[in-house]
C-alpha cells in the first residue's frame, strides 16, 4: 500500500499522494469525522 516517494520536491501532500485514493481518503477522513462529532454534540445539546 505504501509506495516509494516519487515526487521531485518532497512535500506533505506528495507524501499522501501514494495513489489516486490516499489523498481523497485522508481529506474525507479529516473533514467528515469532525462532522460526526458536531452531529452528536448538537444532539446532546438538543436532548438537554
Partner 1 sequence: MAEQPKSVWSSISFWRRSAAWVTGFAVVLLIWLTFDTIGQITMGTDADLQNGVTKRVPAPTVINYNIKYEMNEKRGHEAPVIGEKESFFGKEWSVDEAAALLHLGKLTSQAKNCMNCHTLLGNGAYYAPDLTKAWLDPAWNNDGPMMGMTGKSTREEAMAEFLMHPSKYPTHARMMPDLGITAEEAKGLVAFLKHMSSIDTNGFPRNFGKEQGGTYAK
- Which residues lie near partner 1 (CB under 8 A)? 4, 6, 8-9, 11-13, 27, 30-31, 34-35, 38-39, 42-43, 45-47
What is the C-alpha separation between 39 and 47, in angstroms, rounded? 12
Q: How far is the CB of 8 from partner 1 (least distance, A)?
A: 5
Q: How far is the CB of 39 from partner 1 (least distance, A)?
A: 6
Q: How far is the CB of 37 from partner 1 (least distance, A)?
A: 9
Burial of 41 (0-12, 13-18, 19+ CB in 10 A): exposed
Amino acid at each position: 500500500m505504501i509506495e516509494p516517494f516519487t515526487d521531485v520536491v518532497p512535500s506533505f501532500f506528495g507524501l499522501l499522494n501514494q495513489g489516486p485514493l490516499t489523498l481523497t481518503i485522508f481529506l474525507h477522513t479529516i473533514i467528515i469525522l469532525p462532522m460526526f462529532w458536531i452531529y452528536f454534540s448538537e444532539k446532546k445539546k438538543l436532548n438537554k
